[in-house]
Amino acid sequence: MTTRAGFVALIGEPNAGKSTLLNRMVGAKVSIVTHKVQTTRTRIRGVAMEGETQIVFVDTPGLFAPRRRLDRAMVAAAWGGAADADVVVLMVEANRGVTEGVESILEGLADIGKGRKVALAMNKIDRVEAPVLLGLTKDLNERYPFVETFMISAERGHGVDALREWLAGELPEGPWLYPEDQIADLPMRMIAAEMTREKLTLRLHQELPYQMTVETENWEDRKDGSAKIDQVVYVVRDGHKGILLGHKGETIKAVGKESRKELEEFLGRRVHLFLQVKVRSGWLDEAERYSEMGLNFKDGNA
């Protein structure tokens, strides 16, 4: 039998639906999905099987205008992911159209897209009328020579199978890159931290989530088959710590409960999760924190 394998980068603005699409393609929750922007910080890879082809997805941070060191490192990681891929898929929200952000990405593709196949995936197609969708698709194809265009709803699953089948046929022949049963190459410690960060992000609606990070400090597999996981939530100010803890610690307790439940479903075993909140005013400028998130600290330089 002929096997194929290769890398596919999903790029787009924050909130374009990249994480939702990745999770649907892979069939498991490997990338956090929230309605807050800029939640995917690391290049999370999900592995999907389509026939004899192994598709390795690089779920990049959303591309946006960076302001801080962390922002710049995230944008560098996104373009780096595209530059390393065999095929690039640009996701555009049909209901938002060609925004300034999309125009900026199209400019970047003029360079990154050279020598590789770039497809267009119009997402959230159920939110616009057909004539609007067709006009927008025509406009985008006139701006960039996409090899294929797909109409999808990542949330509902429409058009996702067709996109996955097409990707499988476009990847180069060669041996698989990962064991067949491995769905993500992120260490479990990092996936666990991302799950907790998702729960915090959904619960807190201020600017705070982008000045917060979660790290799995300790992971212990116990004899009874359960896992003991200790995590630390780093914030930059004392005031932020109070928000995270909530009245009598209710917020962090609720987050811990939700995260533990999801971890147990993901791992298929009991989990004992312990969360601590620590103030670390300079974490946004610590190289070690960036390494934990799979980002390059130097990429954050202005």
CA distance 30 to 59: 10
Residue 25, classed as helix, strand or coil, is helix
Q: Would you state the pLDDT for residue 171?
A: 94
Above 60 in pLDDT, residue 210? Answer: no
CA distance 220 to 206: 33
Above 70 in pLDDT, residue 11? Answer: yes
Domains in the chain, CATH or no CATH each: 4-170 (3.40.50.300), 188-300 (3.30.300.20)
Q: Mean pLDDT across the stretch 160-178?
A: 92
Q: Would you state the pLDDT for residue 39?
A: 43
Q: Would you state the pLDDT for residue 166?
A: 96
Angle between helices 130-143 and 100-112 (to 10 degrees): 40
- Give me 237's structure tokens: 């100010």
Condensed to tens digits (0 to 9), the pLDDT of residues 40-76 reads: 444 556 788 888 998 888 766 555 555 656 556 655 6
Q: Would you state the pLDDT for residue 237?
A: 80
Task: Tell me the one-letter amino acid at 76.
Answer: A
Closest by alpha carbon to 157, among 127, 128, 123? Answer: 123
CA distance 39 to 276: 21
Above 50 in pLDDT, residue 37? Answer: no
Q: Would you state the pLDDT for residue 293?
A: 57
Percent of the chain scored above 90 by pLDDT? 32
Above 80 in pLDDT, residue 288? Answer: no
Q: Would you state the pLDDT for residue 4?
A: 93
pTM, two decimal places? 0.62
| 31-35, 112-116, 233-237, range with greatest mean pLDDT | 233-237
CA distance 134 to 128: 10
Q: Confidence band (pLDDT; 50, 70, 90) for 144?
A: very high
The DSSP code sequence of 244-302 is HH-GGGHHHHHHHHHHHHHHHHHHTS-EEEEEEEEE-TTGGG-HHHHHHTT--GGGG--
Q: Would you state the pLDDT for residue 90?
A: 92
Mean pLDDT, the chain, integer: 80
Return the minimum-mean-pLDDT range out of 83-97, 187-201, 251-265.
Answer: 187-201
Residue 172 DSSP one-character state: P
- Give me 288's structure tokens: 């070690």
Return the minimum-mean-pLDDT range out of 25-29, 183-187, 221-225, 266-270.
Answer: 183-187
Q: Would you state the pLDDT for residue 40?
A: 44
230-234 contacts at long range (C-beta below 8 A, 24 or more positions apart): 230/274, 230/276, 231/192, 231/193, 231/196, 231/273, 231/274, 231/275, 231/276, 232/275, 232/276, 232/277, 232/278, 233/196, 233/200, 233/275, 233/276, 233/277, 233/278, 234/278, 234/279, 234/280, 234/283, 234/289
Does residue 80 or residue 26 have the better pLDDT?
A: 26
CA distance 91 to 160: 12
Does residue 162 or residue 249 have the better pLDDT?
A: 162
Closest by alpha carbon to 16, among 81, 96, 85? Answer: 96
Residue whose tokens read 């917060």:
212
Does residue 143 or residue 219 have the better pLDDT?
A: 143
Return the minimum-mean-pLDDT range out of 35-44, 94-103, 154-163.
Answer: 35-44
**Burial readout 3-24 (b: 16 or more C-beta within 10 A, e: otherwise):** ebbbbbbbbbbbbbbbbbbbbb
Residue whose tokens read 């710590």:
241
Above 50 in pLDDT, residue 35? Answer: no
Q: Would you state the pLDDT for residue 270?
A: 92
How many other C-beta atoms lie within 10 A of the C-beta of residue 70? Answer: 24
Query: Count of residues for the chain?
Result: 302
CA distance 123 to 15: 11
Q: Would you state the pLDDT for residue 139?
A: 95
Closest by alpha carbon to 271, among 225, 216, 228? Answer: 228
| C-alpha triplet 164, 189, 14: angle, nearest 5° | 50
